[in-house]
């Protein structure tokens, strides 16, 4: 992790900030839909899209450049409360746990909540230091096609069975003491970055969309 100055999006003690990480290769309407649900239901002041240098659990050989993915994400992120950032590359982080350690240390008083799709929750136990993530940061899980009935049986959910907040109290998640999870249901997009790349011929090059699975 670098000790050099890092330019983070604007933040302040007490701000309710959602963290939505992913490769965004390419960004699409699913990312925008998840963001809209999170901003409204969690009562967030800001939502940071953390464009990752590369997912350690995926083949990144054909990954579009970070700059290209950030630029494409900014075209999709129309809500002024959404900030697209690639600071993980600056601090040398490819793991969510490292990113969260950095943010909790650098942004004291900010109320962070990690945002993920229900499909990602199913393999969350494969993430490095996943239990630490849950013990230090509230998590909001957004429903995704094909994962609705499986999310409750995810290893991460079973590890902390008493951590789940009632969905009606979702707006309180940023004040909750971790581990704290809330599941949000609502409109779902069937789009996925993987499928969009396949349709583009599997070249691995970024394909811009007018909005279309959260990673």
3: pLDDT confidence band, cut at 50, 70 and 90? low
Based on C-alpha coordinates, what's the Rg of the chain?
A: 16
Mean pLDDT score, 130-143: 96
In the predicted model, is pLDDT for residue 178 greater than 90?
yes
Tell me yes or no: is domain 16-188 CATH 3.40.50.720.
Answer: no
- Total-model pTM: 0.85
Q: Sketch the domain layout of the chain as residue ranges.
A: 16-188
Question: What are all long-range contacts of 31-35, with beta carbons under 8 Å and residues at least 24 apart?
Answer: 31/73, 31/76, 31/77, 31/211, 31/214, 31/215, 32/76, 32/77, 32/78, 32/79, 32/211, 33/187, 33/188, 33/189, 34/115, 34/117, 34/142, 34/214, 35/77, 35/79, 35/82, 35/115
- pLDDT of 90-123, one tens digit each? 999 999 999 999 999 999 999 999 999 888 898 9
Q: Is pLDDT larger for residue 34 or for residue 148?
A: 34
Q: Is residue 132 scored above 80 in pLDDT?
A: yes
Give the pairing type, strands 181-184 and 82-85: unpaired
């Amino acid at each position: 992790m670098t000790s050099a100055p890092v330019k983070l999006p604007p933040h302040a003690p007490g701000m309710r900030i959602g963290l939505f990480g992913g490769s965004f290769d390419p960004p699409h309407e699913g990312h925008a839909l998840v963001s809209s649900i999170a901003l409204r239901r969690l009562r967030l002041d800001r939502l940071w899209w953390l464009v990752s240098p590369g997912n350690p659990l995926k083949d990144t050989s054909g990954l579009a450049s970070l700059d290209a993915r950030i630029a494409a994400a900014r075209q999709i992120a129309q809500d002024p409360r959404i900030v697209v950032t690639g600071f993980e590359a600056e601090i040398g982080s490819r793991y969510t746990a490292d990113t969260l350690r950095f943010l909790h240390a650098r942004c004291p008083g900010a109320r962070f909540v990690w945002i993920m799709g229900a499909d990602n929750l199913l393999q969350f136990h494969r993430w490095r230091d996943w239990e630490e993530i849950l013990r230090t940061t509230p998590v909001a899980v957004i429903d995704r096609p094909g994962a609705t009935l499986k999310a409750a049986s995810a290893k991460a959910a079973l590890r902390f069975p008493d951590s789940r907040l009632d969905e009606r109290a979702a707006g309180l998640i940023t004040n909750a003491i971790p581990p704290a999870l809330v599941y949000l249901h609502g409109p779902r997009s069937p789009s996925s970055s993987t499928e969009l790349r396949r349709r583009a011929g599997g070249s691995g090059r970024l394909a811009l969309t007018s909005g279309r699975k959260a990673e």
